[in-house]
Each structure stands twice: as structure tokens, then as C-alpha cells.
Structure 1
Amino acid sequence: MFAISLGDDGAELRPLEPWQAEEYLAHIDRGREFIGQYVALAAVATDVDSARAFLQSYADKQAGDSGRIYGIWLDGTLVGGVLFRIWDIESGACEAGCWLEPSAAGRGLVTRAARVIIDWAVYEREMHRVEWQVAAGNTASINVAKRLGMVREGVLRESYPYRGVRHDMEVWSVLAPQWRELRAREDR
């Protein structure tokens, strides 16, 4: 298995696989309310079997080249993750997403991890467009999109029914030429 360092604070990005279902469930349990504020991710893993099934769905996506999931570990503890929910080779477009438990918030972990997977999507897999869809009330995730240099394209009004409420979804994106330019400026 590989691990990519996310900085000097002991944070790493690693594949998140079905055999890690118990660890994943413990992580979700620690942050269930926080993670579940805007996304149904926390509702999907309620026991080891459902956690394993969720992770298996991403293993299947990876095998079919249609999605991927990675965990963020801090000092050896799984605290969040990033994923490609949608991965469409034909169109050259994908949708990245994230989640994090509250103990790890405010450290820039998601921004650093998202930067790694977007680099991979653009440079290695030659994706042209990376989207970031986020509930309009999810300020933390919107701030990640901003830090990544994404452009807010618009709002899908009341498009996401969740917990009995219809949420507006903001669509953010970065195109490969923009990403390369942003990364070149960061390297100067």
C-alpha cells in the first residue's frame, strides 16, 4: 500500500479499502453528526457490514475506472477522506468530494489531500475538468474550493433533498489549464 505525506504534521493520504471497514466505521462514529450535517455519507455506514459494502462500492468503481476513495490519516488515525464520486474518462470530467471528523477540522488536511488527487487527475490521468459540488450552507467545503482556486459556476437551487430539507448545491470547478497555471505559480 502507498502513503503520501500531506506535510510535517504526520498527516497521510492512503487508499481506503474494504478490509478497513472497522476502522472506517469507528471514524464515522466519532464524527457522525459533524460529517452528516450536509452529506449522507454518515448515514451509509451504520455497522461493519454497511461500511464494508460502501468501501467495496468504491473498490468496484476503482476496478471499473469510474471512481476512487482515499483516507486521510493523522498520526495513524483515520480522520477523513477525499474521493472521486464521479470519474468519466470519455468526457474528461470528474467530481471530487471530501469529509472530515471534527477533531481534524481547521488544519488544512482536506485542502492538501484534494490538491494531491486533483494533481493526479490532471497530470496523470489527463482529466480536463474537476468539479466540487457542495451544499450552499457548507462554508468549510466552499472555503476548500476557494483555496484550491476553483471557480464558482452557479447554484442548483433546492436540488439536494437531505434530512427533510431541500438544499441549494453550489457547483465549483477547475479546468486543467487553470490548474496547471495555479500549480506553476505555487511552485515559484
Structure 2
Amino acid sequence: MFARSLGDDGAELRPLEPWHAAELLTHIDRGRDFVGRFVGLPDAVTDLASSRAFLTAYAEKAATDTGRVYGIWLDDTLVGGVLFRTMDLGQGTAEAGCWLEPSAVGRGLVTRATRLLIDWAVRERGIHRVEWRAAAANTASIAVARRLGMRRDGVLRAQHLHRGDRLDIEVWSLLATEWEAAQAGRP
């Protein structure tokens, strides 16, 4: 098992694996309404079996190099996560995403965790383009994309059906060359 520190505030990034199913379900239950405003995860993780199925699907993605999911723990409590929903190593593309329960908002956890994910994907897996998709009304997620140095590619109008509503989805991206240049300038 590994854990990566996200700073000196007790936050860590760890793989989320099928054996975390009960912990994931407890976490989603704490933030179900908040997380579910823009993200479908609370609709997919509704009981222990569906939580285990979600994590097993990501374990299979990790085994086939087509996706990854990591949890964000704060003082040993799971409070959110980041993931590569998709990874296509042949094309050099990956789509990143996140979620966070209300108790952990405003600490920069998602930005710090996603930085680690992007750095790993670009430097170790050869990903050329990282994409970020967010509902146009999800200003917190769009702010993360900006903090990561992503550029807005455009808006997919009424693209995503979520809980009966059609949401506009903003597409943001970051190229490996942009990432490397930005990291060279970081202390």
C-alpha cells in the first residue's frame, strides 16, 4: 500500500480499492446531496454491493491501464477522491475528475491531489493530453481546472443528462508540454 502526503495538514492520497467499499459508502452517504449536484457517483454508489462494484470496475481499469481512482483522506477519514475516468495510452489521453464532501471543501485538496495524478500521468505514463470535464454551473470544479493551468476548449451544450436535467459541459485540457513548462517554473 502507498500513501502520498498532500501537505502538512494530515491529508493523503491513496489508491481506492475494492476492500474500501464500506468506507467509500460511508463517505458518499455523508456528502451524497452535495456531491450529487453535478457528479453521478452518489447515484452509482447506493449500498455496499454497488460501492464494491464501482471500486472493482476501477481495479479492472487499473489492471488494464485504462483508468485509476484514488481517495483523499484527511486525518484518516476518506473525504473525497480524484480519478482518471479514462486513460488511452495509445492516444496519450486521459480524462481526470474529482469529488469532495462538504467538510473538506476550501482546503485545496482536489487541486493538490490532481497535481500528483497529472504529474504521474505525464512523466511516468506518457500522457500527452489531460482533459477535465465539468458542468458549466460547477464553478468549484472549473476553478480547479484553472488552478491546474488548463485551458478551456469549449462547451458541449446540453451534453450530459443528470438527474433529469440536461447540463452544459465545459471541456478543459492541459498538454504535457504545458505541464512540463509550468512545473519547471514551480519552486
Which residue of 2 is the match for residue 85 of structure 1?
85
* Counterparts of residues 145-160 of structure 1 (less than 5 Å): 145-160=145-160
SS in 1 for 2:152: strand
Instruction: Report what 2:132 is aligned to.
Output: 132
Determine what percentage of the aligned residue pairs are the same residue. 66
Superposed, 1:172-183 pairs within 5 Å as 172-183=172-183
TM-score (norm 1): 0.99
Pairwise CA distance, 1:147:
0.3
Partner amino acid for 2:13?
L
How far the C-alpha of 1:127 sits from its partner, in A, is 0.5
- Give, in angstroms, the shift of residue 126 of structure 1: 1.1
Size of the aligned set, in residue pairs, is 187
Task: Supply the distance in 2 between the matched residues of 1:49 and 1:78 (Cα, whole angstroms).
Answer: 18
**Correspondences of 1:1-188 after superposition (within 5 Å):** 1-187=1-187
Task: Tell me the SS of whatever aligns to 1:186.
Answer: coil
Secondary structure of the 1:124 match is: helix
Distance 1:60 1:184 in 2: 34
Runs (5+) with no aligned partner, structure 1: none
The alpha-carbon deviation at position 139 of structure 1 amounts to 0.3
Cα deviation, residue 145, structure 1: 0.2
Q: CA deviation at 1:16?
A: 0.1
List per-residue Cα deviations over 1:7-61 (Å, max 9, x = no partner). 0000000000000100000000000000000011111011101100000000000
Q: CA deviation at 1:173?
A: 0.4
Residue 163 of structure 1 and its aligned partner are, at CA, apart by: 1.1
Deviations 1:115-155 (Å, cap 9, x if unpaired)?
Answer: 00000000111100000000000000000000000000000
The alignment's TM-score, normalised by the length of structure 2, stands at: 0.99
Shift of 1:89: 0.6
Measure, in 2, the Cα distance between the counterparts of 1:163 and 1:33.
12
RMSD over aligned Cα, in angstroms? 0.5
What is the CA–CA distance in structure 2 between the aligned matches of 1:41 and 1:182, rounded to whole Å?
A: 31
CA distance in 2 between counterparts of 1:138 and 1:182 reads: 25
Task: Give the 3-state SS of the residue equivalent to 1:130 in structure 2.
Answer: strand
Distance 1:53 1:125 in 2: 26
Q: Distance in 2 between matches of 1:85 and 1:132?
A: 10
Shift of 1:185: 1.0
Displacement of 1:183 in angstroms is 1.0
